[in-house]
Chain A
Amino acid sequence: MANIKTSEKKSKAQSMGMHTEILTGRTQQKFFNPDEAENFYYFGTYDVDFNKRTDLDVMNMSAPEANKEIENLMSQGYGTIVIKNPQGKHSLGVGILNKLNLIFEGSLGYFGMGSCDGPIVRINGRVGWSCAENLMAGKVVIEKNAGSCFGAAIRGGDLICKGSVGARTGIDMKGGTIIIGGDAGAFTGFMMQRGRIIILGDVGINLGDSMYDGTIFVGGEIGSYGSDAVDAELTSSDQDWLRRKLKVAEIGEDFDVSKMKKIVAGKKLWNYDNLEPTEKKGAI
């Protein structure tokens, strides 16, 4: 790898792997330019100012109405929105593909903050099933408990629950980090493919069942291991990463990470990459 500190912008981007390929009969490379803002944001997103703040009372709004109003406020440049009286409504805050500082003063129902990319969210309450499903990037912090399927299929970002979570946390996750301050239910990390889960408390039965890859760190007791989930050595770099993550997450900063258990995939079920290209077609 080239020396990133000394290389020019173009070669720097190349060495970091930040380029895309466009196939138009012959292969062309389009290089990533860190100075071009459009590389960072989706087309059609809003330029918001975090210092421009407003409240939104959703007591008498349906979820689609509330979500539409959030978008309307972003279009006016509001970068900090405080949602009042969410009252456990389902599907609030879904599909936000924008930088935004979003605060919920209360609890959410099912599917809250689903399919988001970029917002920083704090929920001063509890969340129901499937919170932050498919999160691409950003940070979601829940101050109380969470329901089942917490962070299902997330691709990136940080998802933090300061209380306890239900079953199947991080099911099918493909990246990102999930941090749980309390306990977690059965089938945590079920079929996870990448990313990391940190649980400071106890975890239920079948931990990491059929996981392809990724890492789970557990501070408390484990109900049982799932199929193909095995212990691994907790390295010093693991511990450094855990300390850093817990500090950033404002959770368990004094927690003794050296005693945590590390669980990874045994990869006995995992042979996809050993297949020949023609065999892969049949395997999908």
Chain B
Amino acid sequence: MCGIAGLIHRGKSSNVGSELQGMLQALKHRGEDSTGYALYGDTDGKHFIMRFKVGENVGEGSSSVMEDVSVYDERKKIVDQTLSEMGAKIVKEERTLPYSLRYEVDYETKDLLDFSQRIESIPGVEILSMGKSLEVIKDLGNAKMVCDRYSLDKLVGTHAIGHARMATESGVDIKSAHPFWGYPFSDVSVVHNGQLTNYWNNRRILENKGMRFMSECDSELIAVYIAQKMREGASLQEGMKDSLSGLDGVFTYFVATKNSLGMAKDTMAAKPLVLYESDDLVAMGSEEIAIRSVLPHEIDTYDPFDGEVKVWQI
């Protein structure tokens, strides 16, 4: 079933980590196999923030294979060495969990394709996000468990999107969890609720164009599809509108960039979305109770119509 939620503050920052946790926790009945956050924090914008994993969570319910922690250490060493070879300087390093790391990297480049390909050529290593503001944090369990595990409740920023997942067509693991980074674009992330029926056709076409897929989760296709459209010169909104005909199936998805947040709904409106919009805040989710967690007073909300695409700026 899955649940998605997102919010964007316009003209100010807020405690988006805590707010999104409340929204996603309200949707936990839609799935708690894994939960993911894409948070756009307040930063000085000088360095890239790279969230990556060197292994999987092999806890209860995981479909991943157990590995020794020493393997993670070895992979981390190779990542550090590769970064050094590329001229990227690690400014700050955090290792929240044995398999999950956060680096602040001083690296001068506009195209992250080569950078990402080299890092991800290391077996077992996946970049979860790369950007000057974006941080994707995803793991097994419900929203509160993931928030507590990564201490996300204090993160201040302008906007965020998240996903509570009930695993269906792919495994219970971090690589299949949402949000997906819009590889290889800095600060682009996607969450999705629905099923795509032309996944393999689109995947083959996009792989032939040099795009990469890390999982077999159909939702990853949306991130890659939009990213490819943007590589070809489309704006975010144009790419999203194109997806309404290019992607087949039922879907509601959110895309976020450094400065914006967008939503798209398929032409049959088969997947739910409730939206609240005011001058200083837009909040949306699969169910109204998600919005109620940040706006407990009486508000006006509505369901976007079929085939609707909307984008808001911070």
Contact = CB atoms under 8 A, between A and B. Distances in A.
Interface of A: 87-90, 106-107, 109-110, 125-126, 128-129, 144-148, 163-168, 183, 185-187, 204-205
A110 B288 CA distance: 9
Contact of A148 (B269, B288, B292): B269
Contact of B288 (A107, A164, A204, A205): A107
16 contacts: A88-B291, A89-B289, A90-B287, A90-B289, A109-B288, A128-B272, A144-B301, A145-B302, A166-B305, A167-B269, A167-B270, A167-B305, A168-B269, A183-B305, A204-B305, A205-B267
A205 B306 CA distance: 9
Nearest to A223: B306
Contact of B300 (A110, A129, A144, A146): A144
B265 to A, nearest CB: 9
B289 A126 contact: no
Contacts of B288: 88, 107, 109, 126, 128
B300 A126 contact: yes
Contacts of B292: 87-88
Nearest to B297: A106
A125 B298 contact: yes
Contact of B269 (A87, A146, A166): A166
A60 to B, nearest CB: 12
Nearest to A127: B288
Contacts of A165: 303
Contacts of B270: 167
Given A88-B288, A145-B303, A147-B303, A187 B268 contact: yes
B269 A185 contact: yes
Contact of B303 (A125, A148, A187, A205): A148
B123 interface: no
A212 B246 CA distance: 33
A97 B127 CA distance: 56
Which 8 pairs between the two chains have the least Cβ-Cβ distance? A88-B288, A167-B269, A166-B303, A186-B306, A145-B302, A88-B289, A88-B292, A147-B303
B233 interface: no
Given A87-B296, A126-B300, A185 B306 contact: yes
Contacts of A125: 298
Given A107-B288, A167-B269, A167-B305, 13 more contacts: A88-B289, A88-B291, A89-B289, A109-B288, A126-B288, A126-B302, A128-B274, A145-B300, A147-B303, A148-B272, A167-B270, A185-B303, A185-B306
A87 B296 CA distance: 7
Interface of B: 267-270, 272, 274, 287-289, 291-292, 296, 298-303, 305-307
Nearest to B26: A88
A125 B299 CA distance: 8
Interface class of chain B by DSSP: loop
Contacts of A168: 269
B274 A147 contact: yes
Contacts of A187: 268-269
Contacts of A205: 267, 306
Contacts of A147: 272, 274, 303
Most buried by A among B270, B272, B306: B306
A107 B302 contact: no
Contact of B306 (A88, A107, A110, A167): A167
Contacts of A107: 288, 298-299, 301
Contacts of B272: 128-129, 147-148
B56 to A, nearest CB: 34
Contacts of A185: 269, 303, 305-306
Contacts of B274: 128, 147
A149 to B, nearest CB: 10
Nearest to A149: B272
A181 to B, nearest CB: 13
Nearest to B29: A90
Given A88-B287, A129-B272, A148-B272, A186 B302 contact: no
Nearest to B306: A186
A145 B301 contact: yes
Contacts of B299: 107
A56 to B, nearest CB: 17
B302 A164 contact: yes
A167 B289 CA distance: 20
Contacts of A166: 269, 303, 305
Contacts of B306: 167, 185-186, 204-205
Contacts of A129: 272
Contacts of A167: 268-270, 305-306
A190 B292 CA distance: 31
A147 B302 CA distance: 7
Contacts of B289: 87-90, 109
A122 to B, nearest CB: 15
A168 B301 CA distance: 19
B131 to A, nearest CB: 33
